[in-house]
Amino acid sequence: MNNWPLLGVAVVVVGFVLRRNPVLVVVIAGVVSGLAAGMGTGDLLALLGSSFVNNRALLLMVLTLPVIGLLEHYGLRERARDWIVGFRGLTLARFLISYLGLRQLLSMFGMIDLAGHAQTVRPLVAPMSEAAAERSVGALGAAERHRVHALAAATDNIGRFFGEDVFLAFGAVLLIQGFYAQNGIALEPLAIALWALPTAIAAFIVHTLRLLYFQRQLARSVRAQRISDVERADAED
């Protein structure tokens, strides 16, 4: 057994310890492992090229993150908070219900990666949710703020998970079709996707009720904390 290709693992460890560029470290580790395995230059370049093409969606995500970070550096989150405050009557529940519906619809049409934790939740949905909650129930403490952020992330997860099942070309739909085909049952992807529609509608209704309940609980928590602070201040006086 040739153990020399394991040198690539050592390159990855050393590169991460030295805090070098992760992409550069991984590429160098791949080259080292390929050369140690006896691959020719042409075969190695072909392998790197095919890996690049097969993972281009992940590369797009990697390129998106610096852009979002730059926008956040120049005040994207603050602008999002200020913008959401201008909507009268917009509560936390109403905002997240609207985002849930939009996320599900986009996922149903295959636009799954158009939104997500990195693309929309952290830079936009989380600060907007926080602003909508403060507009509805008042100033939030650190614990309440974290709960609002977690709820925004959960809303994105539910919208994507139960929306993508309705998309015809989704991997799970094709997997189900292939399983039935192996057992002599012919099903069209459209029929399978339509059967996921009632589940998506049920998930939307259930999470809507959860959002409304969370808003009521948040209002009670903030009110109780406010009363406790007043009582503590009176006791100190």
pLDDT digits (tens, 9 = 90+) for 12-42: 999 989 988 877 888 898 889 888 888 888 8
Comparing 60 with 68, which gets the higher pLDDT? 68
- Is residue 217 pLDDT above 90, yes or no? yes
Across residues 102-131, what is the average pLDDT? 89
Angle at 20 between CA 19 and CA 23, to 5 degrees: 125
Cα gap 159→167, rounded to integer Å: 13
Quote the mean pLDDT of the chain.
Answer: 85
Of 67-81, 116-130, 144-158, 193-207, least confident by mean pLDDT is: 67-81
HSE value, Cβ hemisphere, 13 Å, CA-based, for 76: 15
Angle at 15 between CA 9 and CA 21, to 5 degrees: 125
Cα gap 116→102, rounded to integer Å: 12
> What integer pLDDT is reported at residue 46 of this predicted model?
84
Q: What is the pTM of this model?
A: 0.69
Which pLDDT band, with edges at 50, 70 and 90, does 58 fall under?
low
> What integer pLDDT is reported at residue 19 of this predicted model?
86
Q: In this predicted model, what pLDDT tens digit does every residue of 172-216 receive, in sequence order?
A: 777 778 888 888 888 887 888 888 889 999 999 999 999 999 999
Q: Are 178 and 71 in contact (CB under 8 A)?
A: no
Which pLDDT band, with edges at 50, 70 and 90, does 76 fall under?
confident
Helical residues (DSSP H) of the chain, grouped into ranges? 7-17, 22-36, 41-54, 56-73, 76-85, 92-108, 126-137, 142-164, 171-182, 189-236
Cα gap 123→2, rounded to integer Å: 47
Of 87-96, 100-109, 153-162, 181-190, least confident by mean pLDDT is: 181-190
> What integer pLDDT is reported at residue 177 of this predicted model?
80
Cα gap 139→85, rounded to integer Å: 13
